[in-house]
Amino acid sequence: MFRRGGKIILSLHPKPIGQQRGPFTSSSFNYIRLVFRNGGEDEFFEKYKEAIGMNTWERSPGCATSSSVTLRNCSTVVPRAVGISGIEKRFAENHHRTHESISQAFEDMNRLMEYAREMVSLSKAITDKLRAKKGEITDDETVRFKTYLLSLGVSDPVTKSAFGSSAEYYKKLAEELAVVLYTPLKECGGMMTLSDVYCRINRARGLELLSPEDILNACQMLEQINLPISLNRFESGVMVVQLKEMSVETTIESTAELVATMGTCNATKLAKCLSITVILAKERLLAAEAQAKLCRDDTIEGLTFYPNRFMTSY
């Protein structure tokens, strides 16, 4: 063994008789050259000398004098996997452990879903008892219990397992959308983007989640079965679910009056004033402009709307 400017060369010799074999039975080389391109050869050399000085290979045969269990463990030495085969083996082991973890997680999820169904069934039973004992329970207790029920979401959601992928499934799902979204739509100005609908309905359903395609197909059925909400697509491509009595057409006058009161308005200001999303606020302003109620000023600072005084001034 000798060192030379960032390199360490280790000479190899035949294996002594009685010593355990290494990871390779034979080699065409009689030396190993270690190259240190970014330094560190001194630290490695010190650690190497410490390891050589420990003479670990001389102490390993001592296991023959221990108990029979230890003897068996020492005699069955598993060679360490090296090279590409070792890397592939480690990848396979990691994949197996990951597969086991995922399987365990799905088992836990199935148990959780069973518990959730039991809780929903229990909540329905308690609701029926509350109706039967109306008057015996205070209003505060009733409100508190209804809050707990609300956190559980939809008690009996429509699922494909019950109806399949037929039109009947989307019809029932549309009816569920109308029931779940009617109150939130009233609270948020009568209109909600389809992405918000997706989030709200899946949050209410808990574990029985819906795909975006199923929600879109159900929303397209709203108008056909005469429900209080409907699907509307703006010219910009934005799709919203809206209350029929609070559609964009019914808000044109109120939007124009609000802009006249403010003097000037953009989508951000209107959204903040009405507590709606910026997308819906912009669509309201554009709808009022289409009816000649507003005028636009499109500059580098953004799109701003003003009352249309050309229609009222003579």
The pLDDT tens digits of the residues spanning 70-111 come to 444 544 555 555 567 778 888 888 888 887 777 777 677 667
pLDDT, position 68? 47
What kind and span of H or E run contains 95?
A: helix 83-132
pLDDT tens track for 146-157:
555 555 555 556
Contact 196, 181 (CB under 8 A): no
- Radius of gyration for the chain, computed over Cα atoms and rounded to the nearest angstrom: 37
Question: Do 56 and 101 belong together in one domain?
Answer: no
Question: Do 227 and 298 belong together in one domain?
Answer: no
Question: Do 7 and 60 belong together in one domain?
Answer: yes
Give the residue from 108, 127, 152 where a domain finishes.
152
Q: Where are the beta strands (DSSP E) in the chain?
A: 2-3, 7-11, 31-35, 191-193, 229-233, 239-243, 294-299, 302-307
Question: Do 107 and 173 belong together in one domain?
Answer: no
Question: Do 232 and 288 belong together in one domain?
Answer: no
- CA neighbor of 210 nearest in space, from 238, 167, 168, 174: 174
Question: Do 171 and 213 belong together in one domain?
Answer: yes
Is residue 189 in a domain?
Answer: yes
- CA neighbor of 180 nearest in space, from 192, 163, 165, 168: 192
pLDDT of 65 strictly over 50 = no
Is residue 131 in a domain?
Answer: yes
pLDDT, position 304? 92
Rounded CA separation 197/8 (Å)? 68
Q: How confident is the model at residue 144 (pLDDT cuts 50, 70, 90)?
A: low
What distances in angstroms separate CA 216 from CA 8, 181, 199, 204, one per listed residue? 69, 14, 13, 17
Is residue 314 in a domain?
Answer: no
Contact 194, 240 (CB under 8 A): yes
What kind and span of H or E run contains 116?
A: helix 83-132
Residue 292: give its domain's CATH number: 1.10.10.10
Give the residue from 220, 242, 264 where a domain finishes.
242
Is residue 313 in a domain?
Answer: no
Most confident region among 144-148, 166-170, 173-177 by mean pLDDT: 173-177
Is residue 312 in a domain?
Answer: no
Total domain count, the chain:
4
Q: How confident is the model at residue 170 (pLDDT cuts 50, 70, 90)?
A: confident
Question: Do 238 and 302 belong together in one domain?
Answer: no
pLDDT tens track for 235-252:
788 888 988 887 777 788
Is residue 158 in a domain?
Answer: no
pLDDT of 301 strictly over 90 = no
Instruction: State percent of the chain over pLDDT 90.
Output: 4
- Average pLDDT on 174-189 reads 86
Give the residue from 213, 242, 271 where a domain finishes.
242
Q: What's the whole-model pTM score?
A: 0.47
Range of the domain at 292: 248-307
Mean of pLDDT over the chain: 76
Question: Do 218 and 201 belong together in one domain?
Answer: yes
Is residue 157 in a domain?
Answer: no
Rounded CA separation 199/183 (Å)? 15
* 3-class state of residue 257 by DSSP: helix
Is residue 90 in a domain?
Answer: yes
Question: Do 47 and 8 belong together in one domain?
Answer: yes
pLDDT, position 66? 47
- Between residues 159 and 141, which one has the greater pLDDT? 159
pLDDT, position 305? 93
pLDDT tens track for 192-233:
889 999 998 888 877 678 888 989 998 988 888 888 888 988
- Average pLDDT on 164-179 reads 83
